[in-house]
Amino acid sequence: MRRKNNSAPGGLLFLAALIMCLIGISVYTTGCADEPSSLGLNLIPPGDTSGVRVLDSYIDTMLITPTNHKKLTNTSSSGNLMVGKDGNYDAKALLLFSSLSNAYDTAVVNSATLKLKYRNYYFPTSSSDSLGQIAFDIYKINNSLNFGNITLDSIDNTTFGTISQGNYTGSPTADTQEVNISLNSSMVKDWLEYAADPNYSIKNYGIVLSPSIASNVIKAFYSASYGNDDLKPELEIIVTKLGHTDTLKFNATSSLSLVNTTINQTSELFFLQSGVAYVEVLKFDLSKIPSTATINDVQLYLTLDPASSILSSQSSKIIGAERVTDTAGLVTDNTAIYNNTTPPSNNKFMIRLLNNAYPSPFQRWLLGETNYGLYFRPTTIQQNLDLYAFYNTTASDPAKRPRIVIKYTPRALP
């Protein structure tokens, strides 16, 4: 007789349970290796790190708060001396000739001519604007101005005279084309007297080229800051002294443009513009990143609307970012500047907001520094009138809104 074996089913059940247990342990340990739980993070020594995590504003909910500012800028370093009008844009050009000879205080000024050379820059940038007309009158500057730091808010109704000292109407089109403008010889005579005697009652504070309603475009001449002396604004004076007639030539020593306009920002777009200037502050909510995290990388993507932008051949297509250090959003830490280092692709600008030479602003904010956001502006902000239109945080197409991708490593609490 064969004995019945009752132990086989029990053995099989034990083996199956063992396999399931091993599978469970494997899954559990694999998960722990990839992403430690928040409890596990607290058990890691402070010097250790876990795997890198990513916060992507297109995937994760992240509040980005935009604020646009009109931050007036000084343009004395620009190679462009801009003058003219277009719509609600108004550009005045200021010039100073402060290195006149002191040897002609008793001379008769037979003629005085301002010579400007066109730089083939015009705003807006359509082909019709290249042929556009500018018109301006020239007035004395009544007050001493520091050309190196003044901005539009530095002037008022008393800054410029009201009696025309010369005028021009024309349509320069060719690069280096010379424009000659006759100046009031009495004004220039006073300049020569002042050069010989600083106590002379009528001072030489310079002149302003102020556009008239006959202008329908803004155009630029080579400025006093341009590197080639042959292209700088020049004052030519023909004088007679003690029976001798001389032709004197002097380059402008200082110049700048004062441009004013008003841009209406929209829910669809925000604008950055050089020359005036308009800048944008973006503030990022970092509440989803642990305060003890280490920031590994930050990349910001901005999408350009080319149809609403006005960019010339002078445009660098580089946008700079700086950490804001005040509540008003206009003071920045310009020791650490972040730019897009590659040309935009498909109208996407990528700015890497990390510099190994300086602490990341995002790291500073996590460590407790007040988060005022980042300030964005064209790198040509003092040079021309580049106008960049970027899609806003509330743009109708979510794929065109500003996108930030932050890579960080959580760290254990000490």
Q: How far is CA 200 from the centre of its chain?
A: 42
CA 307 vs CA 20, 200, 258: distances in Å = 62, 55, 26
- Per-residue pLDDT band at 50 (split at 50, 70, 90): low
Task: Determine the pLDDT at residue 20.
Answer: 55
Q: Which of 40-54, 149-163, 170-184, 210-224 has the lowest mean pLDDT?
A: 40-54
What is the count of structural domains for the chain? 2
Task: Determine the pLDDT at residue 17.
Answer: 52
Closest CA to 169 of 108, 207, 112, 219: 219
Q: 195 and 294 share a domain?
A: no
Q: Residue 283 has which token pair?
A: 């503030």
E strands along 79-192, which residues? 80-86, 89-96, 108-123, 134-140, 167-170, 178-182
Q: Which of 13-22, 245-254, 265-274 has the lowest mean pLDDT?
A: 13-22
Residues in the chain: 414
Q: What is the pLDDT of residues 304-332, one digit of tens each?
A: 999 999 999 999 999 999 999 988 877 78
**Does the structure show a pLDDT above 60 at 148?**
yes
Q: What radius of gyration, in Å, describes the C-alpha atoms of the chain?
A: 33
Domain of 405, CATH number, reads: 2.60.120
Q: What is the pLDDT of residues 4-33, one digit of tens each?
A: 444 445 554 454 554 554 444 443 443 333
Q: 197 and 322 share a domain?
A: no
135 with 211: CB under 8 angstroms? yes
Task: Determine the pLDDT at residue 335.
Answer: 75
Q: How many CB atoms lie within 10 A of CB 373?
A: 20
Q: 404 and 290 share a domain?
A: yes
Q: How far is CA 30 from the centre of its chain?
A: 48
Task: Determine the pLDDT at residue 355.
Answer: 78
- Dist CA 337 CA 322 (whole Å): 5
For residue 330, the SS3 value is coil
* Beta-bridge mates of residue 281: 67, 375
Q: 216 and 347 share a domain?
A: no
Beta-carbon contacts of 223 under 8 Å, excluding residues fewer than 6 positions away, are 78, 79, 80, 81, 232, 233, 252, 255, 256
Residue 89 inside a domain? The answer is yes
**Phi-psi region at 356: left, alpha or beta (left = phi > 0; alpha = psi -120 to 50):** alpha
pTM of the model: 0.85
Q: What is the pLDDT of residues 391-414, one digit of tens each?
A: 999 999 999 999 999 999 997 655
Mean pLDDT of all residues belonging to the chain: 89
Domain range enclosing 403 = 45-72+274-409
Q: How far is CA 149 from the centre of its chain?
A: 17
Q: 161 and 110 share a domain?
A: yes
Q: What is the mean pLDDT of the segment spanning 43-63?
A: 75
